[in-house]
Amino acid sequence: NLGDPFVPSNYGVHSRQFEVAVVDFFAKLWKAPEDDYWGYVTTCGTEGNLHGMLLARETFPDGVIYTSKETHYSIFKAANYYRMDIEVIPTLPVGEIDYDVLEKALVANKGRPAIMNVNIGTTVKGAVDNLDRILGTLKTAGYPREQYHVHCDGALFAMMMPFVEDAPELSFTSGHVDSIAVSGHKMLGCPMPCGVALTRRTHVEKVEQRI
């Protein structure tokens, strides 16, 4: 579809209701607040990551991206496109972000908001950054909720985490997740490139422009 799937169009040929159904499915899967979510079907996981990073930058123009060195290149691409500062944090042998180094970097950059990219399945090792630990680290480093933005790159696993028994919860319920991106042609195996970006409506309102 051209444009916002939630906004009616005067163009007769469209598939908005299908796109909205897809977005609603993921909103339910990730327990997005019923009155505060927005999303769309993207061309790929990369686009969802770009979208998440752009919304983060609009919220925090002076923010610093924190992400692990095993992060997919699309996050580095976003930093490049949108001219955002980025701190690349080393990883533990399993491929998760090194939480201690993350804390030191957060403390060193105190005063500038944190834009956290959380990997829900890295490309090579399938490592899942521990969201609860990252939230704990932000707290210990002295970042209140108004000083950070959390994006989850769920290109690989965001789709299946909710179905895995004993997996850490990936959802909007805690109020600490701002956006999630997933790739449709990776784990789901969709035959054409696609993805889904989901976020809070309040974040999108910041970038809305009347056309």
Full strand arrangement of the beta sheet holding 179-183: 38-42, 195-199, 179-183, 148-153, 114-119, 64-68, 85-89
52 vs 63, beta carbon nearer ligand PLP:
52
22 vs 112, beta carbon nearer ligand PLP:
22
127 vs 204, beta carbon nearer ligand PLP:
127
Burial state string for 75-112 with b = 16 or more CB within 10 A and e = fewer than 16 = beebbeeeebebbbbebeeebbbbbebbbebbeebeee
102 vs 156, beta carbon nearer ligand PLP:
156
Footprint on this chain of ligand PLP (rule: CB under 6 A):
44-46, 49, 72, 74, 121-123, 153, 155-156, 183, 185-186, 195
> Among residues 21, 2, 6, which one has the least CA distance to residue 205?
6
Q: How far is the CB of 13 from ligand PLP (least distance, A)?
A: 26
Q: How far is the CB of 97 from ligand PLP (least distance, A)?
A: 13
Q: How far is the CB of 37 from ligand PLP (least distance, A)?
A: 21
Q: Which residues contact 8 (CB under 8 A, 6 or more apart)?
A: 16
91 three-state secondary structure: strand
